Structure 1
Amino acid sequence: MTALSPDMQPTRAARGQSHWQTLVTQLVGLIVILGAWWLVTDVLKLYPPYVFPGPKAVWTEISYGLWGTGPQDGKLLSAIGGSLRRVLTGYVIAVLLGVVVGLLMGAWRPLRTTLGAYLTGIQSVPSIAFVPFAILFLGLNERAVLFVVILEGFIPVALAVSGALLNVPPALRVAGRTLGAGSLGLMLRVLLPASVPSILTGLRTAWSFSWRALVGGELLIAGAASLGEQLEIGRNTANVALVLATIIIIGVIGGLFDSLLRAAEGRVRRDYGLEVPQ
C-alpha cells in the first residue's frame, strides 16, 4: 500500500474538516428551521393545527407511516417502495435511451440540429403538462407514469451526452485519429470516456426531473401504493400533517439520491483533474 506523501496528508485532513464543518452547518440550519416551526405553531399558535400542524404532529404521521403496527400504519413505507420502484425503472430506461440518442446526435450533425432543437423545446414544458396526454394515450395506470418519468429523464441525458461530445478538446480527436481509431473506436474509446464528467452532470439533472415527474403523475393514479397517493389521501381527508410528512419524505429521498450522484460526479471530476482537492 502506497504511503501518502507529506504534502497530501494536510489536504486529506483539510477535506475531512471541511466535510464536518458542512455537516455541522446543515445541522444548525435544521435546528433553526424546526425551532421556528415549533415557535409559530405550538407556542404562538398563529395558525390552527388543521391548517398548519406543528413538528410533533408531522413526526407522528411519519412514525406511524414508516414503522407503525396498526392496521392503517406502515402506509408511507409501502408508498416509498412503490415510488422508488417506478422511478428507478423509468430512470434506468431514460438513461439508456438518452445515452444512445445522445451518441447519435453527437456523431451526426443533421440529427443534432433537428432532434436536439426539438428536445430542448420539449424540456421547457413542465412535466405535469404531459400527464393528461399520457393518461389519454396509455390509460390511467402505471404505464402513463413511467412514460412521463422516462420522457423527463431521457431529454437531459440525451442533451448532456450530445453536448459533452462536442466539448471534447480537438487535440484528443486528432490523437485518436493519429493512433488509427476509426469512427466507432474514436467515439467509444476517446470521445465517450472524455465526456464522462459532463455526462454525470446530466444524470443528476435527469434524476431531479424524473423524481418530480413521478410524484406529479402518481397524484392521478388511484389505488397504487405511492407517495403521490399519500398526498392525495392527505388532501381528501384534510390531513395537513400527512401532506407535510409526505413532502418531507419526498425531499429527503430526492436529496439523498442527488447527494450520491453528486459524490460520484465529484470523484470523477477529481480523477480527471477537473477539480483540485480541498
Structure 2
Amino acid sequence: MSDFAALSTGDDPVEFGKVVIFGVGLIGGSFALALKSARAVGEVVGFGRRPASLREAQDLGIIDRAGINPAHELEDADLVLVATPVGQMPDIFAQIAPYIGPQTVVTDGGSTKADVAAAARAAFGDRLCQFVPAHPIAGAENSGAAASRSDLYQGRKVVVTPLPENGDEQLDRVKRAWSLCGADIHELPPEQHDRVFAAVSHLPHLLAFALVRDLAERPDAQLFFDFAASGFRDFTRIAASHPEMWRDICLANREALLGEIEAYQAQLNDLKAALARNNGDYLQQSFSVAREARRAWGDKQIR
C-alpha cells in the first residue's frame, strides 16, 4: 500500500483520503460515485460555477461538501480531477497551481489532450510532474449531476496520455483511480490521441449536430421529425450532447478535425459522383467495405 492509501474509514482502508473535483456533472460526478462505490475514498470535495449544482451534487451523495476556496482544500488532497469543459481548464489550472500539495496529483477528464497538456505546462511550471492527463471514453448525451452513475466507467476505456515529466508514482495513482472505477486503462501520446478522436468521436458529433440543425431549420421541420425512426435516432443521439462542451472540444482540436472533415467530404463527393452517374456498382462496393468494417468492429465490442 502506498503512502496515499494509508487512511481508513472504519475498518475499511481507503486509497484516497481526499479527492477534489472541479465540475461535478456526468464525468466528475460519476467518478466520485464510482470511487465511493469501491470504498476507495474518504472525502469528496466539489467545486463548480453554480452553487445550485453543488447543492444538488451534495444532496445526491456525489460530494460530501462543496469547496469554497481552493487554497484551503488542495494542500492535503490526494487526487484532483478537473472535469469541466476543456475551454475552462487553463483558468482552473492557473487558479489551483499555487495551492496543490507536494503529494497531490492532478488529472483531467477532457476529450482533447494536446491543448490540455499545453495549458498544464503553462500553469504548473516545475510542478508539471504532478499533472497526468486522461480521457474517460464514457460520455453520454445527458449532463449534470443528476446524470451521474456509479457504473458509468465499468468496462469503458480510459486513455491516459502521460507527459515526459510524469513519474511512475503520479502515473500509477491516476491509473489506479480509474481502475477502481471499473475502467480499462490505455496509453497514447497526446497528439496521437487527438488525431484518433478527431476521427472517431469529434467528427461524428459534428455530423450529428449538422444533420439535426439542417432539419430543424427547414420550414416544414416537424414533418421530418414526425417520420424519423430508428436510423435517425441512432445516428443523431449524440446531437443531444452538451453544446458548450462540444464547442470547446471542436475548437481545441480544430486542426485534426478540419483534416477529418476534408476526408469525409472526399467520401461524400465520391458517393455524390456515383449517384450522379447512376453507378450502382460503386455504391454497393463502398457500402460493402463499410459494412464489413463496421461488423468487425461490432464483433470486437461484443467480445
Shorter-chain TM-score tier = under 0.3
**Higher Cα Rg, which structure:** 1
Larger relative strand fraction: 2
Higher relative contact order (CA 8 A, sep 6+): 1
Larger relative helix fraction: 1
